[in-house]
A and B are shown apart, each in its own frame.
Chain A
Amino acid sequence: MPNADSSNHNTMETANETIKQAPLLEARNLTKVYEDGVKALDNLNIKVMPGEIYAMLGGNGAGKTTTINIFLDFIQPTSGNAFINGIDSNSDPLEAKKNVAFVSENVQLYPNFTALQNIDFFVRLGGKSNYKRSDYENALTRVGLQSEAFDKKLRDFSKGMRQKCGIAIAILKNAPAILLDEPTSGLDPKAGKEFTKLIGELRDEGKAILMSTHDIFRAKEISDHVGILNNGELVAQRTNAELKGVNLEQLYVEYMAGYMEETNQNLVLTNDLN
């Protein structure tokens, strides 16, 4: 007869495995064609598990932001689904968005509010109303904002300081999934490094993070998966293990070069026709 404790332990392990296997963010056959006929996403399939960072790489117009916009229900997909913690974000967006935090490329908060007032508003908006001032201060300290800035109005903040506030809001929301839209773009190297470290910590806490970025080196450094998007299509996908020893920059450029050649051919063709 098996030991009761051992049985419980096994059951918990199985449950953890099941949880581990369920993606917190999933794009399933996601396609978006705009009214003017432009195909922004073409049958995109992505899964981000708990405790994973997925970096979407790609040039401008590759479909990275479109993917995030669909996850946040800012636009509707033409076909396919985007799931947050198993909830279709387009059919039940309010429920789905309870499970996700978002940090944009250029976090903008209310300029007439102080950092703490902004954090208080956005955290409450995210459904958390039981925090104290000290919790907000701890979160801001954790993201590296100096305490003198807590009660300063946002209009005086640099981009880096605003990004820190944005990530503090995401931390306090404590959602299982996080969407980051080019979060390190425009940050100085030090701020970028600090930001990357924080993302890593959040991953270690079990968050599923989907990040769009142009920063190949940072993507390789912290991501568990890297996907390269080209014209809305996922043209390459590698795990961190697969990337070991691979020159990601070269891989990326190869795919982008292929895209460029194709575009140049189209241009030549168009010029010939004209």
Chain B
Amino acid sequence: MFKLIFIKELKEILQSSRFTISFAVCSLLIILSFFMGAQNYLSGKAQYEAAKQENYNQIAANTEWMSVNHSIMLPPQPLMALVTGISNDIGRDIEVRGRGELSAQNTRFNDEPIFAIFRFMDLEFIFGVILSLFAIIFAYDAINGEKVSGTLKLCFSNSVSRASFIAGKLAGSFVGLSIALIIPLLIGCALLPVLGVNLSSDEWLRLGIILISGLAYFGLFLALTIGISAMTNKPSNSFLIGLVVWIFAVLITPRASVLISGRMVEVPNVDEITSEKNRYRFQLFADDRPKMADFSVPEGTEPHLVMQEFSKFMNELSEERARKTEIFEEKINEQYINKKRQQERLALSLSRISPTSVFSLATTELAGTSLGLQNRYMDSAQDYQQVYNDFMTEKTGSGGMTGFRMIIRSSDDSGEEPETIDASELPEFEFQKATLSSAANRSLIDLGLLILFNVVFFGGAFFAFLKYDLR
């Protein structure tokens, strides 16, 4: 009986005009998102290569390592274009100095501010917002529509158990509607290599899990809507309830959870922290002023030796200030980060009430564009800063280049241009992507919750129908 109802449901969906329209719209959106994602990735990659080359050229034009201003950039990843997460919101360029705090500048929105308003149409958006709405449009009259039309009564005038009917209906609806998604998703995947986006096996696997999560997310909205349909008598009522649930799940809960956590855990703002750090730096400099004023050398010392002594003296002061600043900033940053993480953890926990948040967290984690991206980028930058500092120390005798720099140039009268530095000696920056296993581990809770939501909503729909008034 289950098989008969399952096949009937499948045929009915595939023959409906609703399916034809949805299939066309889904195909258009999904293929477009893959196409746009691929285009974004390729242009981002070209932009990244050009910026990297420009940075290299600028360095290579220098005659002294001391004069080098070096920037590193966040390399674009194909999955970042398909599931953008926070990748467009964080600064991509970091100016690396041998020592001191690093800050990332120049987000994607600096170049294209219009996207800050309208955002990108990536897979997360399509599944999270559009397809969840499609699930409601498709299933709001799954049960009560049959009741109103009278087919439910005719079905149950036969020897049909409610359990097999609802199970067949749920499975048939899910499989039928999944076809509208799977076909364009497969076409989208096939488009990637055609468009020149070559994914590694690791990335294919991640994409596969993301797409399965998308189907699970779609499935839970479908089951939820069928459940609502099995608890109401009129399709108009179930549509309205479904829409309200959708608004809360997709639009309100994720935003409200951030708002509530912001109220519950107070975190000092960045300006306050920066101002505190600046005050400390000025204080240290003010403390050093009398020492600078007291600088002296024995009379009769050669001028170039005076300059050398002074430079050495200033360097020592600067190093000492940098060391103290580092300790202070480290402490204050740690406090800030701890508070911030506490706030984030609370916001994330609260937001997990919504399946949309759960889906977003799972997919961005798998795509490597979750909140952790910023930390990973900064960690990679800090690791690189250490390597860069060692390199510069080797080259210039001083790696710490915070504060002011005094460069002493000596020239001869030969008229020869000084030789430029060899920029290729500079150590390469390597961005540490989250490994598949660590990404999978971190997304495990959210993937588990997606499964749980599915079980709860499919179970809910099932049990709601067992008590449904068939008349």
Contact = CB atoms under 8 A, between A and B. Distances in A.
B313 interface: no
B16 A122 contact: no
Given A74-B470, A109-B151, A121 B8 contact: yes
Interface stretch (B64-72, B156-164, B324-332): B156-164
Contacts of B16: 112
A112 B15 contact: yes
Interface stretch (A123-131, A144-152, A210-218, A247-255): A123-131
Q: Could you tell me the dominant secondary structure of chain A's interface residues?
A: mixed
B154 A94 contact: no
A111 to B, nearest CB: 8
A33 interface: no
A111 B150 CA distance: 12
Interface stretch (A4-12, A22-30, A95-103, A234-242): A95-103
A110 B11 CA distance: 11
A173 B160 CA distance: 14
A85 interface: no
A141 B41 CA distance: 63
A75 interface: yes
Q: Determine which residue in B16, B149, B159, B469 has the highest number of CB atoms from chain A within 10 A of its CB, and name it.
A: B159
A124 B4 contact: yes
B154 A108 contact: yes
Contact of A106 (B5, B150, B470): B150
Contacts of B150: 104, 106-108
Contacts of A179: 157
Given A95-B159, A97-B157, A125-B155, A113 B470 contact: no
B11 A97 contact: no
A104 B154 contact: yes
Interface residues of B, number: 23
Contact of A125 (B4, B153, B469): B4
Interface residues of A, number: 33
A124 B3 CA distance: 11
Contacts of A67: none
Given A74-B470, A108-B149, A113 B159 contact: no
Given A107-B154, A110-B151, A74 B471 contact: yes
Nearest to A102: B157
A69 interface: yes
Interface string B218-231: 00000000000000
A98 B471 contact: no
B160 to A, nearest CB: 6
Contacts of A90: none
A93 B160 CA distance: 9
A170 to B, nearest CB: 9
Interface string B257-273: 00000000000000000
Contacts of B159: 93-95, 97-98, 126-127
Interface string B130-173: 00000000000000000001110111111111000000000000
Contacts of B157: 72, 97, 100-102, 179
Nearest to B3: A124
A166 B154 CA distance: 9
A33 B112 CA distance: 69
A270 B342 CA distance: 68
A110 B161 contact: no
Contacts of B276: none
Contact of A117 (B1, B11, B153): B11
Contact of A104 (B153, B158, B160): B153
A74 B4 contact: no
Contact of B154 (A75, A93, A100, A122): A122
B430 interface: no
Contact of B158 (A75, A109, A111, A126): A126
B158 A97 contact: yes
24 contacts: A74-B153, A74-B156, A74-B471, A93-B159, A94-B160, A95-B159, A97-B159, A98-B159, A101-B157, A107-B150, A107-B154, A108-B149, A108-B151, A110-B8, A110-B12, A110-B151, A113-B11, A122-B154, A125-B1, A125-B4, A126-B159, A127-B158, A127-B159, A179-B157
Q: What are the nearest 8 A-B pairs in CB distance?
A: A102-B157, A108-B150, A112-B15, A108-B149, A97-B159, A94-B159, A125-B158, A126-B158
